[in-house]
Amino acid sequence: MDPDRIKLNRLYHDLAYLWPLVSPPEDYAEEAEYWRLALRETLGPGRHHILDLGVGGGHNLSHLTSDFDATAVDISSKMLAHSKRLNPSVKHIRGDMRSIRLGRKFEAVLIHDAISYMLTEDDLQATFVTAAAHLQPGGILITTPDHFRETFSAPYVDYATHSLGNAQFTYSEYADDPDPTDTTMRTIYVYFIQQHGHLRIELDRHVTGLFPKSTWARLMTEAGFKFEERLYHLGEEVVEYSMLVGKLQRPHTHEPERAGVPPGFHHGQPGPTA
């Protein structure tokens, strides 16, 4: 079977109902503490206003709403529906993180690994300009790409099994880089859905961005941020995760032209760090 014939991003469309099984909210609790610490270090005490771009199912955000007032944006209406159920106190808005303008400022902008769906430098630049446009001077941007060019080793393979009610769900993940000369990588998922004694198998394909750390640092700096990388571990994993933090130093004065949204494009990503 030609992998490029597998339909794109089904997890955010016809298979969106599986999201709580793919990546349960409780899996985000430990990582969210690193986000909370980074926010408190910059913003100090108090109930600050934060903007979550590419909120997906709202699982990471759900661990922060007890401390912060939040507005959430995502391009997928089905993922927003998940987040609304999980985060009823949050204002949810459908929009593209590269181009949305809400007409107000926040003290922090969060972009979890939804940032991985930026496929070109223009996509990244537009997203960082969006973040800067919504931040007060001295505000903070936090984002966590899934992979970097210099640390990604193909093939990357992972799997997990989760249960909810009478349903059991297993996914197998295979990620590779078909063309090392471009700025994208490919991930293919096989979903095994066991319910009421019946097994169903579904295929899903995701194309995400793959950039060197120097590109992230350069584009964030060009958008007006002071760039910092923070490394952390989750549980007993030997994998080192990377949090990119930007403090807004100056407003960005150039608004680039907005590209259209590619077919099937979505801000969100499965996995325990989404």
Q: Is 130 a residue whose pLDDT tops 80?
A: yes
pTM of the model: 0.89
pLDDT, position 273: 38
User: What is the residue-averaged pLDDT of the chain?
Assistant: 91
CA 264 to chain CA centroid, nearest Å: 16
**Other Cβ atoms within 10 Å of 49 Cβ, number:** 16
Report the distance separating Cα 223 and Cα 220, nearest Å.
Answer: 5
Instruction: Give the H or E element holding residue 228.
Output: strand 225-232
217 CB burial (10 A radius; 0-12, 13-18, 19+): middle
pLDDT in tens, 193-223: 998 889 999 999 999 999 999 999 999 999 9
**Contact 134/105 with Cβ under 8 angstroms?**
yes
- Domains in the chain, CATH or no CATH each: 18-149+209-248 (3.40.50.150), 150-208 (2.20.130.10)
pLDDT in tens, 241-252: 999 999 999 765
